[in-house]
């Protein structure tokens, strides 16, 4: 009887290990973190503005979402820095971290700069939109403006954006780049293994205890 129980538990352990490894496959990874890089060499030494926006499609009707900006980098010179450059649901200030919400119609951080050769940052998306079954999309956009704060730079898109992340209910995130010579986007996937690893250890511990009972 003891041998049968041990064999059964060993089989269970193997099956659970296989399930954990299958779920941890990169196929199940979800991308919510991106590196955005701007090549601004043609503007180097001139004054202008960097505009970051995160806006809902409709209110009400758009699932809650946040966009977190971190690791701001590059050789642009920031002028008149501070949280007052934010409008709507925006906290923080460059070159530090920013957090955008999408609970109001217009959410923007409008930073005056002297352009250098490049600018970059990480953006991470989170919130209820990842699992929502319906609703409107949210959009995170990156734009550059001339010193007048009105004239878009290095883009022909009607919105003035250089690129837009479109966030759909259910967690699908699409990037639209309107000037590939200026903007590059690199996805940083979070492997499912990183999320499941603690759970996997717990499951193994439970089954191992069963083997010794």
The mean pLDDT values, 10 residues at a time, for the chain of 213 residues are 46 42 44 95 98 96 97 97 97 98 98 98 97 97 98 96 98 96 91 49 47 51
Contact of 93 with 82, CB cutoff 8 Å? yes
What pLDDT is attached to residue 212? 52
φ, ψ of residue 205 in degrees (nearest 5)? -65, -40
Query: CA-based Rg of the chain, rounded to a whole angstrom?
Result: 23
- pTM of the full structure: 0.77
């Amino acid at each position: 009887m003891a041998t049968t129980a041990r064999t059964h538990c060993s089989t269970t352990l193997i099956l659970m290990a296989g399930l954990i490894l299958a779920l941890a496959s990169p196929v199940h990874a979800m991308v919510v973190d991106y590196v955005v890089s701007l090549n601004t060499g043609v503007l180097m030494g001139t004054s202008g503005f960097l505009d970051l926006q995160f806006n809902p499609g409709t209110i009400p009707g758009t699932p809650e979402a946040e966009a977190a900006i971190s690791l701001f980098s590059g050789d642009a010179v920031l002028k008149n820095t501070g949280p007052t450059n934010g409008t709507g649901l925006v906290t923080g200030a460059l070159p530090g971290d920013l957090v955008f919400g999408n609970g109001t119609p217009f959410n923007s951080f409008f930073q005056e700069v002297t352009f250098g050769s490049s600018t970059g940052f990480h953006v991470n998306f989170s919130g209820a939109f990842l699992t929502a079954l319906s609703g409107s999309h949210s959009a995170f956009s990156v734009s550059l403006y001339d010193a007048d704060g009105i004239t878009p730079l290095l883009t022909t898109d009607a919105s003035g954006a250089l690129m837009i992340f479109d966030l759909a209910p259910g967690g699908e995130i699409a990037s639209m780049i309107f000037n590939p010579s200026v903007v590059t986007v690199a996805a940083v996937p979070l492997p499912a293994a990183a999320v499941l690893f603690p759970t996997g250890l717990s499951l193994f511990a439970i089954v191992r205890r069963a083997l010794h009972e």
